[in-house]
Structure 1
Amino acid sequence: MWITFGVIGGVIAVLLSLLFRHVGFVLFALLAWWLYGWLTTDPIREQHEIELRRDEYERIKDQKRRITASQVQVRFEKYEVREVTATISNGSVARISNVAFKCTYARPDENEPWRLTTPVGTTSVIHPGESKRLSFWLRDAASDAIPSTFECEPSVRMNQADLMRSGLVHPKTPDDLLLARSAIQVETRLGQIRREYAPILARGSITNNSNADIGYLSLSCSALMNELGRVETIYGGTAIHVAPGETKSFDFPVGKMHVENPMFGIRDVSCGVLKVHDSR
């Protein structure tokens, strides 16, 4: 009898030994496979993301080349008017705003060109296919700049929602995707100035073409504050529930801006959509 128990115990011990040996091998194989995947997949994913960002950069760069300046006129008087005037044409697929000029110019006895970026000429929106005549202050140009050597090109802010809707930029977050699938119209106006502050009012409509409920709308509003081209931007939003397939209107104060110079006032106020948030 004891011999039988001994034989059975020995068999069980051998079986357990074999089992643990194979389980250990399986666990080791799984660990090795996970390490291999971690070491190879992450670099591949990172390389893919780098290529996507590079492609997006090139597509945006191509769109910016479609924003052109024509009929450029430079007025450069040593101690008086220093400005460049041009017709800015938006040939891109996106709305543009905060338009400035990047210029190069020559100086006497200088071999290399000098560079400058003008103050913003306008914060108002220029739609695709639209043109506007604008003036830019050559504030930072050297006093001995040679007027005939100025070469300038527009520097702008492009509407990210338009770029995403056109497929040139990929949505990075669920809110980006929600924004890309929404049609939003915004009109901006100045309220009555009180105690040197002017309320910025926004109204418009939002159509939800996504599968998620919209719960909040965030806007950013910019304006020219003085003759030096200083731009001020404020942010605000409103709770608004828009179900999939629904269109709703909105009208709310975004915030206030301080009037620096009553003679200049606040000019070229425009608001754009910053974010659209779901209702969760």
Structure 2
Amino acid sequence: MAMEKMLLKDCIDIKQSVPDKKSVLKIIAHIAKKNPILQNFSEKQIYKSLQEREELGSTGFSNQIAIPHCALEGISDFVLGILIVSEGVEFDSLDKQKTKIFVYIIAPASHKSQHLRILSTISNYLRNQDNINKLLLAKSPSAIRETFLRHTLDKEELEKQNVYQLFQVIVQSDKKYEDSFEEILDIFTSIEDCNFYVVEAENASKYLYKMPLFSMFWHEDQPQQNKVIIAIIRNAFVNDAAKKLNQIIKKFKGDPGLLYFVQDIYYLNGSLNI
């Protein structure tokens, strides 16, 4: 979610006072229209869509915040904006108090999953009282944008950088790949913040050939020992590691003996010494 591309300075405004909820939605429609993504929609259409969403249930929450949002057919990307009403306005909030901060979303109707993720990101941001206070203290649209993005971008960048992948490389005791083992190991030792270890393993054939059904396929030069590198690396470094391994495989014309695969990690904690 590239919030900085969705949130334009022109789509942010500060008002001292606004008379009622209907007026808030009209102001939001007016400033949202300044985003070129909505060039084919009138303010009236945007307002109507926002109003229809409010009829399903108020988007006003507690603690002076609201997240008005709607979905439109035929737009290519999300439009985000912020309206600050310094004196607050009645907006059917959960705590029955006046609302001062309106972070609004105009979403493509076909992007429901991303719509939910953006709602969640904004909601989490606005749960922090310090973030609310900083928005209320901002004196200009530029300052509001910078304040909002500073925290949401930090969170997004952290999530992006801290997405780790499980990278496993299996090297059989075939002579050519065994000689390249140090080169393969160097790939992971050079990666920043990479946790990895090496496991000695055995070919499945060692056990299969002990079974009468498969014994006739046994031969002495069948490679038995494998080394398995199990590495946890940041997503940003996965492509580079894969590229280097592909070059090694290509060098040996794709002969069997080296295999790697990458998996997503959904939960991670702790660290290892090399």
TM category (shorter chain) comes to: under 0.3
The structure that is strand-richer by fraction is: 1
| Structure number with bigger Rg | 1
Q: Higher relative contact order by CA 8 Å / sep ≥ 6: 1 or 2?
A: 2
The structure that is helix-richer by fraction is: 2
The normalised TM-score by structure 2 is 0.22
The normalised TM-score by structure 1 is 0.21
